[in-house]
Amino acid sequence: MGNCASLLRQKLEERRALPVPGCYDALSARVIEAAGFEAVGITSFGLAGSLLGKPDFGLLEMADILRNTWNVARAVAIPVIADIETGGGNALNVIEVIEKLIAIGIAGVNIEDQLFPSRCGHLEGKQVVSAEEMAGKVRAIASVRKRLGADLVIIARTDACAVYGLTEAIRRANIYLEAGADMAFIEGIRTRADIERAAWEVKGLLSVNLMDAVTGVQTELVPLPELARMGIAQVCIPAAAILVAHRALTAFFEALRASPTGLLAGESHWLSSFEEYNAFTGLSEYRARESEFLPRATIEEKYAVHA
């Protein structure tokens, strides 16, 4: 974990608008890694959809978040950024969660200043706690990091922009940085001009959210090279994976249901081949482990292999 956290910290300090797509499970994390991205973030938006089939409306339990985080951390070698939403309660609850995340081996953690139960940052109806309460949570995370000798990257997200405006969001970002956060994350920032202003006035590393990198939901789509010139450290793309999955699944099963034969024979463009998928998930490695560690008689019985 220490190496991954240090690597993530180094990449963020370069202020080159590091793109960090959001995954919703171990498979989507591996796809993101295989595509060549340098880090991956776990998105509660995607997790709520994949695990519950429900909106990101504060419905996830912390146990589910931690279990999914464990699976993702084991699946990839690139730095993983966890999303603990509001931290599961007050600063004392946050301490318990952070201890678990450090044990898992997480490189970074997002925590937000929404009032529990939180919701997707691009939905209406958000409320935020006081800056002082959130700063206490950040200090609590920093204290755990110091006590355990970890190098966890603390990312303090503020949702105040949609509630009170950009000026208050910038004020809070600076308070959280002073409290010990390594990077501030202003959620719901809307325009290029607002991003430029925030990059100038936030006294530390800054992350922004492009939601899906396609439609520009709430936040204006600004090319990454331009964001890098502004000095933005990280660009989150949290929703793309789950939205792509939803579109692909919907299109395929609607076509299958509409087919008069109940088949889509020959239309291989819909999916990866069985062989490609098994290769990607490492089936051959597990077959090799079987051969190495299981009794020969068991292997012969399983696969009808005869010397």
Name every residue whose Cβ is closer than 8 Å to that of residue 135 and which is 6 or more positions away in sequence: 175, 176, 178, 179
Q: Residue 57 is part of a domain; what is its CATH number?
A: 3.20.20.60
Report yes or no on 267 lying in a domain: no
Q: Dihedrals φ, ψ of 49, to 5°?
A: -70, -45
Written as one letter, the residue type at 76 is: V
Check residue 2 and give its pLDDT: 43
Both 152 and 52 in one domain: the answer is yes
- Report the number of distinct structural domains present in the chain: 2
Asked, for residue 258, whether it belongs to a domain, the answer is no
- pLDDT digit string (tens) for 197-239? 999 999 999 999 998 888 877 789 999 999 999 999 999 999 9
Strand partners, 110: 83, 155
Whether 73 maps to a domain, the answer reads yes
Are both 291 and 189 inside the same structural domain?
A: no
Mean pLDDT for the stretch of residues 288-307: 86
Q: Classify burial at 76, counting beta carbons within 10 Å of its beta carbon; exposed 0-12, middle 13-18, buried 19 or more.
A: buried
* pLDDT for residue 307: 47
Domain that holds residue 276: 272-307
Going by the DSSP 8-state scheme, the letter that residue 115 receives in this structure is P
pTM, two decimal places: 0.95
Cβ(251)–Cβ(36) below 8 Å? no
Q: Is residue 259 in a domain?
A: no
294 and 207 belong to one structural domain: no
Q: What is the pLDDT of residues 151-201, one digit of tens each?
A: 999 999 999 999 999 999 999 999 999 999 999 999 999 999 999 999 999
Are residue 75 and residue 153 in the same domain, yes or no?
Answer: yes
Q: From the CB of residue 35, how many other CB atoms can be counted at a distance below 10 Å?
A: 8
- 19 compared with 306, residue with greater pLDDT: 19
Task: Give the Cα separation of 291 and 284 in Å (integer).
Answer: 11
**Mean pLDDT to the nearest integer, 107-136:** 88
Amino acid at 163: V
Question: Alpha carbon of 67 to those of 71, 87, 197, 265: distances in Å?
Answer: 6, 15, 38, 38
Whether 250 maps to a domain, the answer reads no
DSSP 57: S
